[in-house]
Amino acid sequence: MSGNYAIRNFRNEDFTEYLKLLALNERLQPSGRRITADEVVAELKRPGYSPEQALFVAEFGDQLVGYLDVELERLIGRAILTCWLAPQYRRFGLAEGLIEQATIRARELEASIVQMRVSDARQSWKKLVIRLGFEFVRSFPKLSVGLAGRSQNVDSDGTGFSDLSLVGLEGLVNIQNRAFAGAWGYCPNTLAEISYRFSANHNSPQDIIIASEESKVVGYCWTKPSCGSGRLEGIGRIFMLGVDPEYQGRCLGRKLLMAGLAYLENQGLKAAWLEVDGENKDALRLYRSLGFRRYASTSWYQKSVG
C-alpha cells in the first residue's frame, strides 16, 4: 500500500469528512437513511460506543476515503464490522487494512467472533472477506410488497391492538427480548439501546403496534414510515415483527403484520419492505402468503477471533 495512505482511529476533527463519506455511500447505495450532521452526531453517541476506539478511517493525504465501524455485542460475544470505501480507492489494500485493524480491536474487546454483512450484489466484497478467512453463515433476503388495499384487510380476531403508549419503551424491551430469545444473531437489548433506536428511527408511539391479551403484551410490529428518501421515497419498512413464544402458532404474527401494512398505507406510502433470516421458513411462508417478493439479499460472513 502506498505511503500516501494511512489507516487510523477516528478523531473529532474527522467529522466533516466522515459525514461526506456517509452521504456518498447513501447516494451510491440508497437505503433511506438520513445523513445529516445531527443524525451522525447521535449515531456516534449511541449507548456503549466510542468512535475514537471503535471507528477506523482510511486516509489519502488529508482526505478520508473509507471507514470501518466495530459494533460490539458483548452479551453474545460478537463484533459486527461495517466497512465502506469510495469506489476509486478500492484497489489499494485499504479494505484489508481496515478489516485487520478492526479485527485486532474486536479481539481487545474480547469478542469471540467478528461478522460482516455483504450485499449479494457486491461480489468483489464477498471474494475479499472469504480470502481474509471469513466463512458464510447466513443469508437474509429483502422482500417488498405493494400496500394498495391493505387497510381494508385488518382483522385482530379479538386480540387487542394498540400503540407503544400502552406499554412504553420498557414494555417494548421486554416483548422484543422474549420474542427473539434464541434467534440467530439476536443480542438482548437494553432500555438505553431501544430508546436510542426509537429516537434514531424518528418513530412515534403510533408506529409500533402492540398486541395484548388479558392485559399481557404478546406481540408487536415495529414499522418505519419515514425511512424512504430519494429513490426509496414512498416506501416504508417493517422493521421488526415479534410474538411471545407462548403465543406463537395462533396466526398472531400474520394479524400484526397485516395491521402494520395497513398502518403504512394509511401514512400515504405505496410499498413496504423487510428483511428476514433465510433459515426462518415459517416467516418466509407468512410473508410470501401476503404477497411479499424477494428483490435483493445480503449475506453474513464470520471469522473466529477468540
Judged by average pLDDT, the poorest of 17-26, 232-241, 288-297 is: 232-241
CB 240 within 8 A of CB 253: no
User: What pLDDT does 106 receive?
Assistant: 94
Which amino acid is it at 50? Answer: S
Task: Look up the domain containing 181 and give its range.
Answer: 148-269
Residue 160: predicted pLDDT: 80
pLDDT exceeds 70 at position 105: yes
Shared domain check, 257 and 176? yes
14 and 75 both lie in a single domain = yes
User: Which residues 6+ apart lie within 8 Å of 193 measured at CB?
Assistant: 46, 47, 48
The answer to whether residue 203 is domain-embedded is: yes
Under a CB-based contact definition with an 8 Å cutoff, are residues 152 and 219 in contact?
no
Domain-located, residue 291: no
Q: What is the pLDDT of residues 56-69, one digit of tens each?
A: 999 988 899 999 99
Answer whether residue 130 is part of any domain. no
For residue 285, is it within any domain? no
How far apart, in whole angstroms, are the C-alpha atoms of residue 203 and residue 220?
14
- Res. 102: pLDDT tops 50: yes
- DSSP string spanning 188-218? PPPHHHHHHHHHHTT--GGGEEEEEETTEEE
The answer as to whether 294 is a domain residue is no
**Residue 264 — pLDDT band, cuts 50, 70, 90?**
very high
- What is the mean pLDDT of the segment spanning 36-52? 93
Please say which residue of 92, 111, 130 terminates a domain: 111
Q: What is residue 163's DSSP assignment?
A: E
| Number of domains present in the structure of the chain | 2
Contact in structure between 76 and 187 (CB atoms under 8 Å): yes
The answer to whether residue 306 is domain-embedded is no
Residue 29: predicted pLDDT:
83
Position 1 scores a pLDDT of 45
Domain shared by 49 and 156, yes or no: no
What is the residue-averaged pLDDT of the chain? 91
CATH code at 28? 3.40.630.30
CA distance readout (Å), 208 to 11, 14, 189, 252, 272? 36, 36, 17, 15, 15
Here the cell at position 286 is 407468512
Q: Is 166 a member of any domain?
A: yes
The answer to whether residue 67 sits within a structural domain is yes
pLDDT of residue 91: 82
- Judgement on whether residues 101 and 194 belong to the same structural domain of the protein: no
Q: Give the CA distances from residue 227 to residues 28, 146, 282, in Å, rounded to whole numbers and listed in that order.
A: 17, 16, 26
Say if residue 161 is in the same domain as residue 240. Answer: yes
**Which comes out higher in pLDDT, residue 226 or 196?**
196
